[in-house]
Chain A
Amino acid sequence: QKEVEQNSGPLSVPEGAIASLNCTYSDRGSQSFFWYRQYSGKSPELIMSIYSNGDKEDGRFTAQLNKASQYVSLLIRDSQPSDSATYLCAVNQAGTALIFGKGTTLSVSS
């Protein structure tokens, strides 16, 4: 069974801190990796995609990918209360659809 694993949390950080969210995956053939944010009662919305090893930055968000370690992470700098949500890691299995982790709940306190 191919899997995407995330720590369910909750991860609690103070406003202005860096939040670090982690994800591991089991399919070595995976090539596409995504982070989604989901507010309670809402549908997932795309934050970032990453396809190559290394870092990819977009504003306050940085995605990091290490295919050798089968590990992808998301850093949120200068965390804001509005960042409080569940963060979903999604990974493609070779030749099939995106598989999602269970998500990590982030709570940013002001």
Chain B
Amino acid sequence: DTGVSQDPRHKITKRGQNVTFRCDPISEHNRLYWYRQTLGQGPEFLTYFQNEAQLEKSRLLSDRFSAERPKGSFSTLEIQRTEQGDSAMYLCASSLEPTGGYFSPLHFGNGTRLTVT
């Protein structure tokens, strides 16, 4: 178990640029989640995948955000035309799929800290 890996750890970009983050989940986990966290707040749900299928996106998620998990392994999160309000920590987590309606715990990566100038 090598844990959830995220890349890059830090990203500084200018407003209007596109950025892409990568997440490699724990290998046996078929669920992968993206969250965003700002200072003083809890993680805010963005989207999640089960295998390669994107099962849910937050209604609050702008159309500038898109995520993929093409082969059911790693995932990418792209933000187009970044805005200063996108500055946050972007957290990826993975888990086994629920059993009997009960969620398995999420295991988080170290996050990617995005700063938009």
Q: Which residues of A does B touch, CB under 8 Å?
A: 4, 6, 8, 31-32, 34, 42-46, 49, 51, 88, 90, 92, 96-103
**CB of B42 closer than 8 Å to a CB of A:** yes
* Known A-B contacts A43-B111, A102-B40; A97 and B105 likewise in contact (beta carbons under 8 Å): no
B29 to chain A, nearest CB (A): 13
- Contact at B103–A44, with CB atoms within 8 Å? no
A44: nearest residue on chain B (CB-CB)?
B108
| Residues of B bordering A, CB below 8 Å | 33, 35, 40-45, 48, 56, 89, 91, 98, 101-103, 105-111
Closest to A100 in B: B42
A96 to chain B, nearest CB (A): 6
- B103 near A92: Cβ-Cβ < 8 Å: yes
B41 to chain A, nearest CB (A): 6
- Closest CB in chain B relative to A42 CB, distance in Å: 8
State the CA gap A43–B89 with chains docked (Å). 9
Task: Give the distance in Å from the alpha carbon of A6 to the alpha carbon of B43 in the complex.
Answer: 13
CA distance A60 to B97 in the complex (A): 29
Q: Which chain A residues lie closer than 8 Å to B33 at the CB level?
A: 97-98
